[in-house]
Homo-oligomer: A and B are copies of this chain.
Amino acid sequence: MASDKSPAPQLKSASGRRLQNRDRLESDILLQAVRVFAESGYEGASIATIAERAGLSKQNLMYYFPSKQQLYQRVLDDVLDDWLARMDLLAHPDDEPGDVLRAYISAKLRFSREQPWASRVYALEVINGAPLYGGQIRDRVVPLLRKDIAVFEQWIAAGRIAPVNATHLMFTIWAMTQSYADFSAQMALVLDRKQLLRRDFDEAEQLITRMVLAVVAVPDLTGEKKPP
């Protein structure tokens, strides 16, 4: 995480504290930045707003992040890092397809619940056609999605799940789970609450899991009815 090129090992405590301070400031800035970018988009977000919320001056912020674009790309990098780390679940293609799918849906929904701003910033970029981040998506996200789709296809070839269009199955799982972050404002209006509750996510998880398992014809063992 932190760069390892500290040139003054003799003052370890002081420089360490300084480094810690800098890291803390940077993460404060990034925490506010992801929210502001999610609320207003790249152009709509202003450095001044981010700085104000993080409790420092605009010019001081620009000491840590020399340009708005660099800050934005760093925000997206962190979003991807977090998401990719959580989504390494389909790396076990030999497990039960039902278990893997359940875990995948659960992890993706959890990301929507815990990091809604991250999800939204990424969505905004994709909707706009990924003008600033298309390269990273091509290099980091697309290969992962393709790998997951290949796993689905192996399962189909081995007769472990019913034949479906694996690519679109991935797209729909992505769409359903993602929307609980991106469209939560509209969902909250329909449900007549200020924001989505844990319960809503649990109910969503149950339904999405049932839909996916039903279409690939894997017995649904989640919940209510248990074998006697």
Contact = CB atoms under 8 A, between A and B. Distances in A.
A21 interface: no
Interface stretch (A61-69, A70-78, A95-103, A183-191): A183-191
A182 B127 contact: yes
A175 B171 contact: no
B190 A146 contact: yes
Scoring A128, A134, A138, A211 by chain B CB atoms within 10 A of each residue's CB, the highest score goes to A211
A204 B168 contact: yes
Contacts of A57: none
A34 to B, nearest CB: 13
B172 A207 contact: yes
Interface in A90-136: 120, 123-124, 126-131, 134
A18 B14 CA distance: 76
Nearest to A189: B142
* Chain A residues touching B, majority SS: helix
Interface in A152-211: 164-165, 167-172, 174-176, 178-180, 182-183, 185-187, 189-191, 200, 203-204, 206-208, 210-211
Contacts of A120: 127
B206 A165 contact: yes
Nearest to A146: B190
Given A126-B185, A175-B175, 4 more contacts: A142-B190, A164-B207, A171-B187, A172-B179
Which 7 interchain pairs have the tightest Cβ spacing?
A43-B44, A175-B179, A41-B41, A214-B214, A211-B215, A43-B43, A168-B207
29 contacts: A39-B131, A40-B43, A41-B124, A123-B183, A126-B183, A126-B185, A127-B183, A134-B189, A137-B186, A137-B189, A138-B189, A145-B190, A146-B190, A167-B191, A169-B207, A171-B179, A171-B183, A171-B187, A171-B190, A171-B204, A174-B183, A175-B175, A175-B178, A178-B179, A178-B183, A207-B215, A210-B215, A214-B214, A214-B215
